[in-house]
Amino acid sequence: MNRTRKTKETIWTAAIFILLEFAAFAILCTSESIQSLWINKASYSVKAWLWSKGESIHNYFYLKEKNVALEEENAALWEELQRYKELERRGQVADLDSLDHRFKCELAQVLKLSVNSQKNYFILDKGSLDGVRPHCGVVSPKGVVGTIESVTEHLSYGRTLMNAGTSVSARLGRKGLTGSLSWDGVSSNGAVLHGIPLHYEVELKDTVWTSGYSNIFPTTLALGTVREVSTKNGSTKEVKVDLFQDFAELDYVYILIFQHIDEVERLEEKEEEL
């Protein structure tokens, strides 16, 4: 009797063991499927992340190239626009053959820019191999940036208008009086126009332009608007100007290369000999 009972217990134990083995095998299969699914999902997620980052990097460099191309196109259009403005100022008919080609416009990127001192400067990525030379004017679509002081083959160094040693000959309105425009020494877009006689009426919000009395800047550049007028030393007016160009925001600029500088220098040498 005991032997029969033991036999039955052995059979039941074996049956339960086999059943548990089948259950474990089924669970293992299911678990492997779940693991495989999660691994695949993780793999796809990683691939998608890498692809998106690759596309972002590609788009970054592509957009940078596009931005440079657009800036170059803007430089050419800006140069052409200044010629038409000069014709308009002279009251001439817009004839392509009579456009002023004195200035060539060379696009340059600002590599370094100082804005936190009294002698702020910039370094550009164009040099003598690009036709740049000292005393070239530097502008942006918003106005005058500064002048080139020295060059190497590939780089240019210059002073911005935010420099105590820099000034620009400027005019009140299109046909108004001229004076010397310099930085106010405080803000990144503030300047002061000096030398305006007391009797001359200055209108607030009037536009200040480059005078053109040099071979550095043409006559058609709008610099800013009159913000405030006061008396200086009881003899002249001091005109405070809000510049269109904010020197805290510069990336690409245009270098103005005066095409007839060699002729001007030869004339100046002859004048010194007399």
Reply yes or no on whether the pLDDT at 140 is more than 50: yes
The band of 53, judged by pLDDT with boundaries at 50, 70 and 90, is low
Q: Which two tokens stand for residue 50?
A: 């890498």
Question: Looking at this protein, which amino acid is placed at residue 155?
Answer: L
Encode pLDDT of 159-214 as tens digits.
999 998 999 999 998 788 999 999 999 988 999 999 899 888 898 999 999 988 87
User: Measured between alpha carbons, how far is 141 from 221 in angstroms, rounded to an integer?
Assistant: 9
Q: Could you tell me which residue, 8 or 219, shows the higher pLDDT?
A: 219
What values do phi and psi take at 179, rounded to 5? -155, -175
Write down the pLDDT at residue 142.
86
Q: Mean pLDDT lowest for which of 1-5, 142-146, 195-199?
A: 1-5
Encode pLDDT of 152-161 as tens digits.
999 999 999 9
Reply yes or no on whether the pLDDT at 5 is more than 60: no
Q: Quick one: CA torsion of 127, 211, 208, 231, rounded to 10 degrees?
A: 120
Taking the domains of the chain in order of start, what are their residue ranges?
A: 102-260
Q: Mean pLDDT lowest for which of 70-84, 218-232, 233-247?
A: 70-84
Q: Which two tokens stand for residue 41?
A: 């999902």
Write down the pLDDT at residue 138.
94
Write down the pLDDT at residue 157.
96
- Percent of the chain whose predicted confidence (pLDDT) is above 70: 58
pTM score, whole prediction = 0.63
Measure CA of the first residue to CA of the last residue in the chain; give whole Å: 145
Which residues in the chain belong to E strands, given as ranges? 103-113, 119-124, 137-140, 143-151, 156-163, 167-172, 178-183, 190-197, 207-210, 222-232, 236-243, 252-258
Q: Could you tell me which residue, 238 or 260, shows the higher pLDDT?
A: 238
Encode pLDDT of 58-106 as tens digits.
555 555 555 665 666 566 666 556 655 555 555 544 443 333 467 888 8
Sort 157 into a burial class: Cβ within 10 Å, 0-12 / 13-18 / 19+: middle
Closest CA to 137 of 112, 114, 166: 166
CATH superfamily of 102-260: Rod shape-determining protein MreC, domain 1 (2.40.10.340)
Reply yes or no on whether the pLDDT at 109 is more than 60: yes
Reply yes or no on whether the pLDDT at 36 is more than 60: no
Write down the pLDDT at residue 95.
40
Contact 232, 239 (CB under 8 A): no
Write down the pLDDT at residue 233.
76
Sort 170 into a burial class: Cβ within 10 Å, 0-12 / 13-18 / 19+: buried
User: Measured between alpha carbons, how far is 190 from 48 in angstroms, rounded to an integer?
Assistant: 50
